[in-house]
């Protein structure tokens, strides 16, 4: 049951990289800014995602803007609940990282955007995301254009297509994104970032944000 | 119960190995034939992540160590009380670039388990995907998974449910 390489998606990713490369000098640098010791990837310039708004199924479908509360950080993840490996790995590591922050964990919020709204009901998504972070936001839209626009703003990619076995075949960016209280995407962690590194980065960013 | 070439319990494997070694030390005739038996694939550190509320698919991870001969992991089975079905899957970069940004998952026909080598089923790589979980996997539970090896036959594995 070998499958062909996903050339279309590859092209998309390449296009995304090229675009990112043109977005500004040093765009997408991994070395970080002056005096930075974060292990995540700092986005420079940090994309403004404050205009992204999706219905929050955990709040009766009211629009939720991807901006952190004052002095807080908002983590944004594009995933789906029937994801067996990548999503629970990252979200469990995030839960562990938050626990290590102690009281400061209250300043680290989470919004999960489902890329699979056909299978993820609002209720399922809400219970799922809140089992990792209490009070987390469950962003779900039935409007494919709105979902795509939100993902584009973060530089995330996804696709859900019928697989050969009849089950949907899902592709999605494995990054966990960190947004500050001005609505700027300041940092992203690739899949596999250790919980300890997440915790250290969060502590550093919370220090910058001011307590 | 389908007929399988061998049905090895992990604990039993350890015991048998210890016994074989003990016998070999005695220089018993039987020991010669026992030590001539090819070693089979062994499995250790099997675990499955606790599921979140609403999660319908899970994953089990473990480390396989090849035996005397090359073998291949060709499938997995679980009881219906655990999940509807189990498959061997691999998480991989969708485009093979961009630092693993976009990821996808595919079912694999087989995972090579070369003689004497360790092969890890771990987050972000190979895993036993549990489809259609019958119920939540909770910390402290165990999940029985039967691994199907091309040569070694069925290996029963007990996976602990824990966070990594």
Name every residue in B having a CB less than 8 A away from some CB of A.
49, 51-59, 89, 91, 94-109, 123-124, 127, 129-131, 163-164
Does the distance separating the beta carbons of B107 and A165 come in below 8 Å?
yes
CA dihedral B50, B52, B55, B59 (to 10 degrees): -30
Does the distance separating the beta carbons of A128 and B52 come in below 8 Å?
yes
Does the distance separating the beta carbons of A130 and B53 come in below 8 Å?
yes
Q: Give the mutation candidate from A16, A17, A81, A85 for the B interface (greatest B CB count, under 10 A).
A: A85
pLDDT, one tens digit for every residue, chain A (211 residues): 434 434 334 333 333 333 333 333 333 334 444 446 899 999 889 999 999 999 999 999 999 999 999 999 999 999 999 999 999 999 999 999 999 999 999 999 999 999 999 999 999 999 999 999 999 999 999 999 999 999 999 999 999 998 877 788 899 999 999 999 999 999 999 999 999 999 999 999 999 865 4
Instruction: Give residues with Cβ within 8 angstroms of A172, minimum separation 6.
Output: A78, A79, A80, A83, A86, A115, A156, A157, A158, A159, B102, B103, B104
DSSP state, residue A182: T
B85: distance to nearest CA of chain A, Å?
13
pLDDT, one tens digit for every residue, chain B (164 residues): 444 444 444 444 554 454 454 444 444 444 444 555 678 899 999 999 999 998 999 999 999 999 999 999 999 999 999 999 999 999 988 874 344 478 888 899 999 999 999 999 999 999 999 999 999 999 999 999 999 999 999 999 999 999 87
Name every residue in A having a CB less than 8 A away from some CB of B.
1-3, 5-6, 9-10, 12-14, 16-17, 81-86, 88-89, 91-92, 96, 123-125, 127-128, 130-132, 157-158, 165, 167, 169-175, 190-192
Axis crossing angle, helix A86-100 with helix A195-209, rounded to the nearest 10? 50
Question: CA angle A170-A173-A179, nearest 5°?
Answer: 135
Q: SS3 sequence, B33-57?
A: HHHHCCCCCEEEEEEECCCCCCCCE
**B130-159 pLDDT per residue, tens:** 999 999 999 999 999 999 999 999 999 999
* pLDDT score recorded for residue B78: 97
* Complex ipTM more than 0.85, yes or no: no
Helix, strand, coil distribution of chain B in percent, nearest 5: 15, 45, 35
* pLDDT score recorded for residue B102: 86
Kindly report whether the peptide bond that precedes residue A45 is cis, defined as omega within 30 degrees of 0: yes
* pLDDT score recorded for residue A90: 96
CA dihedral B34, B39, B45, B49 (to 10 degrees): -120
DSSP notation for A55-88: EEGGGTTEEEES-PPTT-EEEEEEE-TT--SHHH
Question: B19 — phi, psi (to 5°)?
Answer: -65, -45
pTM of the model: 0.78
Calpha distance A7→B95 (Å, rounded): 8
Calpha distance A63→A154 (Å, rounded): 18
For strand B71-77 and strand B57-65, is the pairing parallel, antiparallel, or unpaired? unpaired
B chain contacts of residue A6, beta-carbon cutoff 8 Å: 94-95, 104
A88, A128, A174 ranked by CB distance to B103: nearest: A174
Q: Centre a 10 Å sphere on the Cβ of residue B29 and count the other Cβ atoms it contains.
A: 9
Q: Give the mutation candidate from B50, B52, B97, B110 for the A interface (greatest A CB count, under 10 A).
A: B52
Does the distance separating the beta carbons of A10 and B96 come in below 8 Å?
yes
* pLDDT score recorded for residue B20: 52
Looking at the DSSP assignment, which residues form a beta bridge with residue B103? A172, B93
């Amino acid at each position: 049951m070998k499958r062909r390489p996903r050339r279309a998606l590859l092209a998309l990713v390449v296009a995304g990289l090229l675009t990112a490369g043109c977005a500004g000098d040093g765009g997408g640098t991994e070395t970080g800014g002056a005096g930075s010791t974060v292990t995540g990837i700092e986005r420079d310039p940090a994309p403004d995602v404050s205009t992204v708004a999706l219905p929050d199924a955990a709040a009766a479908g009211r629009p939720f803007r991807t901006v952190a509360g004052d002095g807080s950080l908002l983590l944004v993840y594009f995933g789906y609940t029937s994801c067996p490996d990548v999503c629970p790995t990252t979200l469990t590591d995030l839960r562990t990282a938050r626990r290590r922050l102690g009281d400061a964990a209250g300043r680290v919020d989470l919004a999960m955007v489902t890329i699979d709204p056909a299978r993820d009901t609002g209720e399922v998504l809400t219970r799922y995301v809140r089992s990792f972070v209490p009070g987390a936001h469950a962003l779900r839209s039935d409007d494919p254009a709105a979902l795509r626009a939100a993902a584009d703003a973060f530089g995330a990619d996804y696709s859900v297509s019928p697989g050969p076995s009849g089950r949907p075949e899902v592709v999605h960016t494995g990054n966990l994104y960190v947004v500050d209280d001005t609505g700027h995407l300041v940092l992203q962690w690739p899949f596999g970032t250790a919980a300890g590194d997440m915790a250290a980065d969060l502590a550093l960013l919370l220090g910058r944000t001011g307590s | 119960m389908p007929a399988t070439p061998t049905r090895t319990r992990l604990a039993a494997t350890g015991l048998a190995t210890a016994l074989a070694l003990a016998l070999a030390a005695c220089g018993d005739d039987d020991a010669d034939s026992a030590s001539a038996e090819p070693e089979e694939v062994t499995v250790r550190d099997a675990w499955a992540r606790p599921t979140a509320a609403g999660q319908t698919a899970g994953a089990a991870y473990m480390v396989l160590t090849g035996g005397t001969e090359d073998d291949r992991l060709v499938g997995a089975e679980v009881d219906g009380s655990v999940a509807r079905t189990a498959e061997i899957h691999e998480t991989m970069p969708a485009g093979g670039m961009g630092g693993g940004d976009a990821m996808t998952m595919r079912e694999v026909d087989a995972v090579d388990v070369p003689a004497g080598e360790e092969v890890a089923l771990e987050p972000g790589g190979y895993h036993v995907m549990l489809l259609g979980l019958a119920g939540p996997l909770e910390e402290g539970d165990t999940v029985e998974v039967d691994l199907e090896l091309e040569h070694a036959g069925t290996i029963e594995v007990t996976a602990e449910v824990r966070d990594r």
